[in-house]
Amino acid sequence: MENTPKKIAIITGASRGIGAATALRLASEGYDICVNYLNNNEAANEIVTKIEALGQKAIAVNADVSKETEVVRLFKAVDEKLGTLDTLINNAGILFPQSRLIDFDEARINKLLTTNVTSYFLCCKQAVKRLSTKTGGKGGTIVNVSSAASRLGSANEYIDYAATKGAIDTLTIGLSQEVAGEGIRVNCVRPGLIYTDMHRDGGEAGRVDRLKEQLPMKRGGDAEEVAAAIAWLASNESSYTTGSFTEVAGGR
């Protein structure tokens, strides 16, 4: 029996939370993984070690994906150390402490926009260059991680964060149409209340437990549940799906 060809994925923001869970899920399905991270070298290397224990290749690449020169360096590292890209998972993002719009300042707004939006555009640009059949690529998939906040607005807490995720939704729609004829499928997951460290970044580590009773399913979600949806969208099993949104949000 012939071996299934290796697939290669870049996952941004993969040292923790949904990104880390997705790295392990894709590795379990036979992908070699680039674990992109910004600050936590130790956590990123722990994920690499776990991926290698699954029998896959992995590299950890420190890069600020809101900066084009660093995105170019990230993708070149994958070209050189892993091989031909198949999948990009855009996951990197930040959240600032809960606040009303009237208390936002320019620095907060612009930092969120560059980290949560510019990074996705820059990574998509490099991925499309490699995946497009128009430029000699073999096709592939892009999965953008948005948020249920893009639909709900996050009033009194994070409307700036929600707005950045609304931009990602629009990017998904537009880019999916732009490259559908070039062998590239672009889809999106919108997680809801998921148990990750991001809530601690927002100043309320217990936010999921405070709000979970408002959900039809009456519970928060796990990062692994989001990773399962991402893995399906990245795979050939979703071969007729592009420009879609998968809600992983407990019914809300």
22-45 per-position pLDDT tens digit: 999 999 999 999 999 999 999 999
Beta bridge partners of 247: 190
Q: Half-sphere exposure of 206 toward its Cβ, with a 13 Å CA cutoff? A: 2
Query: Shortest CA distance to 36 belongs to which of 11, 18, 16?
Result: 11
What is the domain range of residue 138?
7-247
The CB density around residue 31, as the number of other CB atoms within 10 Å, is 27
Q: How far apart are CA 142 and CA 233, in angstroms?
A: 8
Confidence of residue 201 (pLDDT cuts 50, 70, 90): confident
In a domain, 1, yes or no: no
pLDDT tens, position by position, 153-178? 999 999 999 999 999 999 999 999 99
In a domain, 212, yes or no: yes
CATH number, domain with residue 206 = 3.40.50.720
Hey, what are 85's tokens? 């890209």
pLDDT tens-digit series, residues 119-151: 999 999 999 999 999 999 999 999 999 999 999
> Is 40 inside any structural domain?
yes
Selection from 1, 55, 2, 46 nearest residue 26 by Cα: 55
pLDDT tier for residue 3 given thresholds of 50, 70 and 90: low
**Residue type at 186 in one-letter notation:** V
pTM metric for this prediction = 0.96
Domain for residue 131, yes or no?
yes
* Residue 91, in any domain of the structure: yes
DSSP label at 33?
Answer: E
**Is residue 1 scored above 70 in pLDDT?**
no
Query: Which active-site residues does the annotation give?
Result: 161
Neighbours of 239 (CB within 10 A): 9
Q: How many domains does the chain have?
A: 1
Q: Give the amino acid at 42.
A: E
Q: 58: which 2 tokens?
A: 């992995």
- Cα–Cα distance for residue pair 23/176, rounded to 1 Å: 23
